[in-house]
Structure 1
Amino acid sequence: MKIQNNGIDLHMQVDGPDDAPAVVFSNSLGTTLHLWDPILPYLPEGLRIIRYDMRGHGVSDVPEPPYTMGQLVSDAEAVCDAAGVRDAMFVGLSVGGMIAQGLAVKRPDLIRALVLSNTAAKIGNPALWDDRINAVKTHGLAGIADAVLERWFGSDFRASSALPHWRQMLIDTPQAGYIGVCAAIAGTDFYTPTSGLRIPTLGIAGSEDGSTPPDLVRETVDLIPGSQFTLMRRAGHLPCVEDPQAFAALLNRFLTDTGHV
């Protein structure tokens, strides 16, 4: 289904009963809502699962860049409101995890628990993202794909027959959308607002993650009192793809521990 937020069409998908406990998923730069497909068979029945393509990605609109984190958070807010979400568990990976932090601060009524996967309160620095934007403008996404995939996936997965699917998802991302979200990440530092959160939080990191190394993820998760942190071995930046059964098991335990199911 499509919804509108500030003149932008956003594509979202809702599965499960209307009155079921809600889990909202927000994906990473260069992926679509289908990032989460591998874990769905391993989640418990009876959940209401909300996924969406952030602006500039998938089949959502592609406004001209740059984008701001405020816009990305507003889009996630619109998705939750359109789905009638309250007290959801919000699962965000990479930039999706930044969106999760921003939304939890802005709309505490929407989120009762956070899963911050392979993310941080601040990722990289403006110079790094300027270099990435310039590389995409010069070489296209196909030109940077191999370097991105090396940061995304552990060595085992990169040698597997599953890799081309995810490479294609990356290079199919609209260039303007990729650049727009790069700009949003470059301008974001959530250390202070995130340190004010007081909700159940699970952090997940991959031992082979070249984009958000485990120490960076742990540093962010530790800002939130009472949070939990888990390291997935032999996984990179997208552990929900590399080891979906283990990733889902972490979510399922957290769903139970927080009383969400």
Structure 2
Amino acid sequence: MQIDIKGEVFEVRLDGPEGAPALLLSNSLSSDKSMWDDQIPLWSRHFRVVRYDQRGHGRSVVSPSPYTMDQLGGDALAVLDALGIARAHFCGLSMGGMVGMWLLTHAPERIGRAVLANTAAYMGPADLWNGRVAMAEKGGMEALVEATITRWFPETFRMAAPQTMERMRAMILNTPAAGYQGSCLAIRDMDQRRSITAVRNPVLVIIGTKDPATTPADGEEILAAIPGARKCLLDAAHISNIEQAERFGAAVDGFLREA
């Protein structure tokens, strides 16, 4: 369904029992809420799962670039507000995990347990993101899709799961170039390395051991910064919830359901 938030439209989907604890999911750069499809059958047994397309992605609003992490984090809160949800667990991957870190430092009372997957508190250098913005400007998402797929998944998985790869390509190509550019600039300008030291919510950090984008070192940096954070290692590259769908789902479900 689509909801209007201060004149801007956001695509949202709800799964699971209405009275169950809420779980908010936040997608990665170049994806949309469908990236979580593999986990929904499990998670919706015990949670009211809230998925939304981040600004500039899927069927949500494509506002003018640049975006900021304050803006993306504010969008997540606005979705919860629009649905009347005072507090939710959280799971975000890559850019979604960056939104999660923002929520944990700016609105910790709105979040219960949080899963930060395949993400980083800082992602330099600036030239990397400026280059991707320029590529999108020149060639659209078609110029980025194959490099993105290669970064997201190792060759062995790409060869073994051709139908999944086609679904991922379609999702990337469906991302508005302007939304991609705005989000790249939000990531470029983000630095949450110091702010996350104040986080006190229970946090699980999921790290892909073969992740070339948000590397294991990036995940370890988050672990070291957040007191009491726990680690889950998956034999995967960047989009670990697709590559290791069952293990990812079980790890998150177990963590969120702890007493």
What TM-score do you get using the length of structure 1 for normalisation? Answer: 0.94
How much does 1:84 deviate? 2.3
Question: Whole-Å Cα distance in 2 between the matches of residues 238 and 179 of structure 1?
Answer: 20
* Matched AA of 1:109: E
- On the 8 A contact 1:42/1:245 being kept in 2, the answer is no
Determine if contact 1:44/1:252 at 8 Å carries over to the other structure.
Answer: no
**Contact between 1:153 and 1:236, CA under 8 Å: does it hold in 2?**
yes
Equivalent AA in structure 2 for residue 16 of structure 1: G
Whole-angstrom CA distance in 1 between matches of 2:158 and 2:62: 29
Describe the superposition over 1:31-62 as per-residue Cα deviations: whole angstroms up to 9, x where unpaired: 00001001112336131000000111111111
Q: Which runs of 5+ in 2 are unaligned?
A: none
What percent of counterpart residues are identical?
A: 39
Tell me: CA distance 1:249–1:154, structure 2 relative to 1, closer, same or farther (3 Å). Answer: same
Kept in 2, the 8 Å contact 1:113–1:200? The answer is yes
Using the TM superposition, name which of 177-186 and 77-86 deviates more.
Answer: 77-86
Q: Which residue of 2 aligns with 1:209?
A: 211
Query: Could you tell me whether the CA contact under 8 Å between 1:24 and 1:88 is conserved in 2?
Result: yes
Query: Which residue, 173, 176, 182 being the options, matches 2:175?
Result: 173
Moved more, 11-20 or 164-173: 11-20
TM-score normalised according to structure 2 size: 0.95
> Deviation of residue 107 (structure 1)?
1.4
Residue equivalent to 2:133:
133
Q: How does 1:81-230 map to 2 (within 5 A)?
A: 81-159=81-159, 160-161=161-162, 162-230=164-232
Which moves more between the two structures, 154-163 or 167-176?
A: 154-163
What CA distance in whole angstroms lies between the structure 2 residues aligned with 1:102 and 1:62?
21
Matched, 1:75 2:82: no
**Contact 2:28 2:93 (C-alpha < 8 Å) held by counterparts:** yes
Please, which runs of 5 or more residues in structure 1 have no aligned partner? none
Alignment partners' CA distance in 1, 2:81 and 2:33: 18
In structure 1, what is the Cα distance between the partners aligned to 2:33 and 2:232? Answer: 23
Deviation at 1:85, TM superposition (A): 2.2
Letter in 2 for 1:197: V
Q: State the aligned residue count.
A: 257
Residue 106 (structure 1) shift: 1.5
* Displacement of 1:69: 1.1
Deviation at 1:76, TM superposition (A): 0.4
Which residue is equivalent to 1:255? 256
Deviation at 1:221, TM superposition (A): 2.4
Contact 1:32/1:53, CA 8 A, preserved across alignment: yes
Amino acid aligned to 1:84: G
Letter aligned with residue 41 of structure 1: P
Question: C-alpha displacement at 1:145, in angstroms?
Answer: 1.2
Structure 1 counterpart of 2:31, which letter?
T
**Using the alignment, how far apart are the partners of 1:175 and 1:186 within structure 2?**
16
Partner of 1:64: 64
CA 1:142–1:101 in structure 2 vs 1: closer, same or farther (change >3 Å)?
Answer: same
Aligned-partner Cα distance in 2 for 1:187–1:225: 25
1:248 is aligned with what amino acid?
G
Contact 2:108 2:201 in 1 (8 A): no
For the 8 Å contact 2:209–2:234, the answer to whether it is kept is yes
CA distance in 2 between partners of 1:43 and 1:69 (Å): 27
TM-superposed deviation, 1:248: 0.7
For the 8 Å contact 1:153–1:208, the answer to whether it is kept is: no
Alpha-carbon RMSD across the aligned residues, in angstroms, is: 1.3
CA deviation digits over 1:126-158, x for unaligned, max 9? 221001101111222111211111111122221
AA in 2 matched with 1:246: R
